[in-house]
């Protein structure tokens, strides 16, 4: 299935042609409320290129059967494509082995898997898990649950007014009871890129394993498991131009090997009798039941697409949009940007004096502009900045400067109407 892939180096050598890229995404041609769609909610979920949609359709039209089971032709083809997708993902994040790539429903399930299968059997009352104030609820609640189950304590690294994780405070939180560090790679609510390398070095130097929530990082920058040297890395397909309902847990092989299965069922076993069950090898030990085969194949197509564009070019294009959007938004009287870290992904969270974010969302929608408003599943971040909610524009490589201009114009409409 990988034979058709374009040679990466030559294809990635040219910068992104945004007009051509936009033609790859059928949904970008539609209208909302009589205006061309201006989709600026990519941190919630990105859109899909035709190649991903086609890969899923082609699979269902030509090759679908259950995987890892039949000797018949279709089952073998489905298995080859599914395991081929795993190898694509392995290469994409530069893991040592495809045994370290576990398919899950998404980042949330990946974090829960680690909380229940890695942390829960090891934690004792008084042990500590360290997270940061920036976290998405998906990297808070699973740890709260495991703390409740074990008597462990959750410790939270504070953030600064610019929205950066306080490294000195982090050092102060580490002690002999620290059992795990779980940290966002990129903040979904503010866009802060956390300098995770420093945190990983410090934690691993003390023998503390590290989990990274990479949901907002993987779509926008090249990530390398061997270079990062973290223990677990979690991400979702739907934020990186892939399908919903599929994601990846990367885990260091030695740790995954030592962990008990999370869910029981078919596919995760080698032999079952009523006396004893022998579990399957990695990574299938963690993939009970028929997997999301089409999702994995679609995700591999998304990886192909992103690699053809080049993650470096994607990051550069998005950074240029972020800089332009930040400058334009700051011209608006009464607009305050929440989250001003020097190193950010293409996310701008903001408030407008006198206009509630929820009203902004409705008024912008009437102009065809889709943004997220609310707490962004990061209520502690909102509490920290003393706001009930923010408006958030988040950009992808297929967005344009003209769309930033439309955002600014729509905000003027909102201010005129309600400000």
Q: Which residues are catalytic?
A: 377
303 binds another protein (CB under 8 A): no
The answer to whether 221 and 89 are in contact (CB under 8 A) is: no
DSSP, res 407: H
Report the C-alpha gap between 89 and 195 in whole angstroms: 23
Site for another protein, residues 279 to 298, rule: CB under 8 A: none
Decide: helix, strand or coil at residue 172: helix
DSSP, res 117: I
306 binds another protein (CB under 8 A): no
Q: Count the neighbouring beta carbons within 10 Å of the beta carbon of residue 381.
A: 27
353 binds another protein (CB under 8 A): no
- Write the CA distances from 306 to 12, 38, 46, 190, 393, integer angstroms: 10, 21, 12, 23, 21
Stretch that binds another protein, among 77-85, 110-118, 260-268, 373-381 (CB under 8 A): 373-381
Stretch that binds another protein, among 175-183, 194-202, 259-267, 354-362 (CB under 8 A): 354-362
**From 358, 401, 409, 412, residue interacting with another protein (rule: CB under 8 A):** 358
Instruction: Tell me how far, at minimum, the Cβ of 389 lies from another protein, in Å.
Output: 4
Q: Which of 64, 57, 3, 53 is nearest to 27 (CA)?
A: 53
Stretch that binds another protein, among 155-163, 205-213, 270-278, 382-390 (CB under 8 A): 382-390
DSSP, res 192: B
**From 375, 392, 406, 415, residue interacting with another protein (rule: CB under 8 A):** 375
- Considering the complex, state which of residue 178 and residue 373 has its C-beta at the smaller distance from another protein: 373
Report the C-alpha gap between 332 and 245 in whole angstroms: 38
The answer to whether 270 and 124 are in contact (CB under 8 A) is: no
**From 166, 267, 336, 359, residue interacting with another protein (rule: CB under 8 A):** 359
Q: Which of 137, 138, 133 is nearest to 155 (CA)?
A: 133
Stretch that binds another protein, among 169-177, 202-210, 214-222, 359-367 (CB under 8 A): 359-367
Site string for another protein, 387-406 (x = CB under 8 A): -xx-----------------
- Considering the complex, state which of residue 33 and residue 290 has its C-beta at the smaller distance from another protein: 33
The answer to whether 159 and 133 are in contact (CB under 8 A) is: yes
373 binds another protein (CB under 8 A): yes
Q: Which of 308, 344, 304, 305 is nearest to 326 (CA)?
A: 344
Instruction: Tell me how far, at minimum, the Cβ of 381 lies from another protein, in Å.
Output: 12
Binding residues with another protein: total (CB under 8 A): 17
363 binds another protein (CB under 8 A): yes
- Considering the complex, state which of residue 336 and residue 359 has its C-beta at the smaller distance from another protein: 359
Q: Which of 35, 34, 38, 9 is nearest to 22 (CA)?
A: 38
Report the C-alpha gap between 46 and 37 in whole angstroms: 13
In the chain, how long is the greatest CA-to-CA distance?
A: 72
Instruction: Tell me how far, at minimum, the Cβ of 354 lies from another protein, in Å.
Output: 8
Per-residue DSSP letters for 12-24?
Answer: TTSPP-HHHHHHT
- Considering the complex, state which of residue 324 and residue 385 has its C-beta at the smaller distance from another protein: 385
**From 166, 313, 356, 400, residue interacting with another protein (rule: CB under 8 A):** 356
Site for another protein, residues 10 to 69, rule: CB under 8 A: 33
Instruction: Tell me how far, at minimum, the Cβ of 353 lies from another protein, in Å.
Output: 13
- Considering the complex, state which of residue 140 and residue 200 has its C-beta at the smaller distance from another protein: 140
Decide: helix, strand or coil at residue 112: helix
**From 69, 366, 385, 400, residue interacting with another protein (rule: CB under 8 A):** 366
Q: Whose structure tokens read 């700051």? A: 330
Instruction: Tell me how far, at minimum, the Cβ of 355 lies from another protein, in Å.
Output: 8
362 binds another protein (CB under 8 A): yes
Decide: helix, strand or coil at residue 83: helix
Return all residues near 289 (Cβ < 8 A) that are at least 6 apart: 263, 265, 266, 267
417 binds another protein (CB under 8 A): yes
Q: Enumerate binding residues for another protein (CB under 8 A).
A: 33, 355-359, 362-363, 366, 373-375, 382, 388-389, 417-418
């Amino acid at each position: 299935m990988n034979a058709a892939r374009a040679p990466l180096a030559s294809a990635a050598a040219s910068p992104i042609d945004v007009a051509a890229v936009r033609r790859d995404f059928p949904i970008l041609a539609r209208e909302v409320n009589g205006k061309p769609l201006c989709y600026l909610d990519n941190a919630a979920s990105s859109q899909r290129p035709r190649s991903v949609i086609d890969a899923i359709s082609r699979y269902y039209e030509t090759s679908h059967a259950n995987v890892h089971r039949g000797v018949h032709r279709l089952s073998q083809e489905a298995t080859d494509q599914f395991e081929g997708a795993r190898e694509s993902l392995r290469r994409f994040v530069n893991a040592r082995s495809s045994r370290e790539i576990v398919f899950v429903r998404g980042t949330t399930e990946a974090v829960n898997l680690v909380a229940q299968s890695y942390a829960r059997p090891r934690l004792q009352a008084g042990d500590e898990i360290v997270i940061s104030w920036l976290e998405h609820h998906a990297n808070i609640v699973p740890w709260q649950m495991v703390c409740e189950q074990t008597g462990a304590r959750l410790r939270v690294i504070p953030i600064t007014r610019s929205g950066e994780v306080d490294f000195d405070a982090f050092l102060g939180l580490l002690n002999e009871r620290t059992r795990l560090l779980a940290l966002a790679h990129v903040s979904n609510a503010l866009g802060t890129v956390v300098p995770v390398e420093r945190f990983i070095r410090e934690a691993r130097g003390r023998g503390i394993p590290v989990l990274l929530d990479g949901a907002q990082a993987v779509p926008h920058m090249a990530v390398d498991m061997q270079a990062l040297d973290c223990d677990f890395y979690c991400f979702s397909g739907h934020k990186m131009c892939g399908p919903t309902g599929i994601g990846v847990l990367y885990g260091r092989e030695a740790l995954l090997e030592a962990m008990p299965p999370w869910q029981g069922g078919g596919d995760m076993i080698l032999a079952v009798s009523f006396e004893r069950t022998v579990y399957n090898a990695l990574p299938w030990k963690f993939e009970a039941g028929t997997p999301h085969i089409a999702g994995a194949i679609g995700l591999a197509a998304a990886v192909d697409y992103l690699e053809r564009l080049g993650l470096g070019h994607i990051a550069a294009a998005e950074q240029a949009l972020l800089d332009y959007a930040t400058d334009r938004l700051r011209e608006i009287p009464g607009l305050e940007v929440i989250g001003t870290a020097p190193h950010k992904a293409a996310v701008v969270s903001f408030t407008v004096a006198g206009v509630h974010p929820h009203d902004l969302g409705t008024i912008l929608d009437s102009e065809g502009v889709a943004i997220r408003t609310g707490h962004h599943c990061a209520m502690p971040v909102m509490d920290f900045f003393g706001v009930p909610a923010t408006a958030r524009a988040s950009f992808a490589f297929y967005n344009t400067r003209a769309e930033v201009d439309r955002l600014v114009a729509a905000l003027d409409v909102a201010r005129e109407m309600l400000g």
